[in-house]
Amino acid sequence: MLLIHCPYCDETLPELEFAYAGEAHVIRPEDPSAMSDEEWRDFLFIRTNARGPHFERWRHVHGCARFFNAVRDTVSDRFLLTYKAGEPRPDLASLEAAQ
């Protein structure tokens, strides 16, 4: 069972308290009606499916209930970073250098 750091509670807690919530930084368009079918398809369905560091969302559902973002390596299952929703996408190169 993974241990996950909630950036809102500032606590590292067991995975049981959290729920996975899909890829991060997929932003709902301001005006969906202005999107072409292809653009809308990409927003709905096309995901990174990374082998390695992956930007993803988690929810501390059995805690503070907040959604937050994380960078997790899909090969090692190791969290490189968690950060609050709305914060900019961190730079991967500097993250990996820090590891």
State the residues that interact with another protein by CB under 8 A: 1-3, 19, 21, 27-28, 31-33, 35, 37, 40-41, 44, 57, 59, 61, 65-67, 76-77, 85-86
Q: Give the closest residue to 23 by CA, choosing from 74, 61, 60, 58.
A: 58
Task: Compute CA 88 distance to the chain's CA centroid, rounded to the nearest angstrom.
Answer: 12
Other C-beta atoms closer than 10 Å to the C-beta of 69 total 23
Least distance between another protein and beta carbon 93 (Å): 22
Instruction: Give least dist CB 3 to another protein, A.
Output: 5
> How many angstroms separate the CA atoms of 55 and 19, rounded?
15
Q: Measured from the CB of residue 95, what is the shortest distance to another protein in angstroms?
A: 18
Query: Distance between CA 89 and CA 24 in Å, rounded?
Result: 9
* Minimum gap (Å) between residue 35 Cβ and another protein: 6
Q: Specify which residues 55 forms β-bridges with.
A: 71
